[in-house]
Chain A
Amino acid sequence: MIGGGHLAYFAIMALREMDPSGRIVVIEFTSEKVDMLKKTFPFTEAVLSSIEEVENYISKNHFLIDVLVVATDSDALNLRYAKHSIKNDVPIVIAILNNPLNEPIFARENVRYVINPYKTITSKIKEIVGKFDVNVVYEFSKIDGGIYAIKVENAKTLKRVRGFILKNDSPFFVLSADKRIRAGSLEDIQIGDVVYVPCHSREIKSFLRKMGG
């Protein structure tokens, strides 16, 4: 991990949970932060480094690094380190964004795994308020797709949704207006239901185009 701040906390806990006997090295740039890391995460190796030295560290140890998470408070620095790691064949490079607007910029630079911690805010608010056509509930990291919620507001949408599921042979489940979760047949979908469909992003984009969205 490069950066041991607020967002990094959750990444460190996730890594620890996945592999309790694995080795986690966290690099920070001030001795105060390194001391804090040692106290908060005694199972990690907290390393003090300078901004320039990190690239040398990655170059020297690239063959040992399985997963590199860049989580400093600067997206510019995160992008720099991510690109350097990819160039050094680190297998999994994950960037945690500070500014969601940088997501396409990271994608353009071939940083494959980018976590936008703010995406949940949009989809959660839409889910809570309940006013949407299509809501992105979850996006897969390794394939270009996700789970999408489609609100069936009227007969036209109902027809389109049934057509979409049939055409793509998609699995689905339904969250009905009376808060029941059902996996049933297409005929069971009614107006007022929210249909959850896992599919590729190109399929949902095609659906949105047909809906005029």
Chain B
Amino acid sequence: MQHARGSGFWALARCMLLFCLVLALEVHAQASRNLAPGFVARPEASRLVIVPADIELFSMSGGGVLEPRADWTAAAERHFQAALEAHQALRGGSMVRLDEKDLDELSEVNALHGAVAQSVFLHHMMGIMRLPTKNDSLDWSMGEGVQLLREKTGADYALFTWVRDSYASAERKAAMVAMAIFGVGLVGGSQIGYASLVDLKTGRVVWFNDLRRASGDLREAGNAAETVEALLRSFPPAR
């Protein structure tokens, strides 16, 4: 691909460098930024549906190519789901499970939520492209768009999660050390993701947290629990 060289390549390199910087800032959850105005907690008797997590794990080869790893992803999905269900903050109220195949019927609301989450991620959490009319508050709603999800599950709230993770292989780690000698910082693998809590009566996103970091490991159960912990930091309990 000859055209990858030239101005496009350097723009991309610059971009990646900045991305690394952004990643380096581990964003700590601030109560006001993660919560919609006026929302504090879920009622004790509320029902929560956990939408199947959208997870993808990659291995990064020496040359920086991402290779999808089904074994890691399958393991991560299991560990992640278990960690979610066991998480203290999610307890209280009752939980409703939704299976992957149920998503066929709910594809439109799921796709819509994906677009909403991207907007929140970009315009609210990243801190660089804020929308002035939002007044720095978490103010997004899917309105009556959540009706089908509410009816199908009978739940009051829905938790959506999304994670993309890449891990440096042994060759990659070696390459990182080698390049560091020349003063070039290579991305070694990174984890980005979000968790979003939607009130199914109003369609409002009432809580949102994102993760952007160069650490974390979803492949092992213990570490996966740590990722869930980071993702659900400040998750509003039910009381």
A pairs with B: no
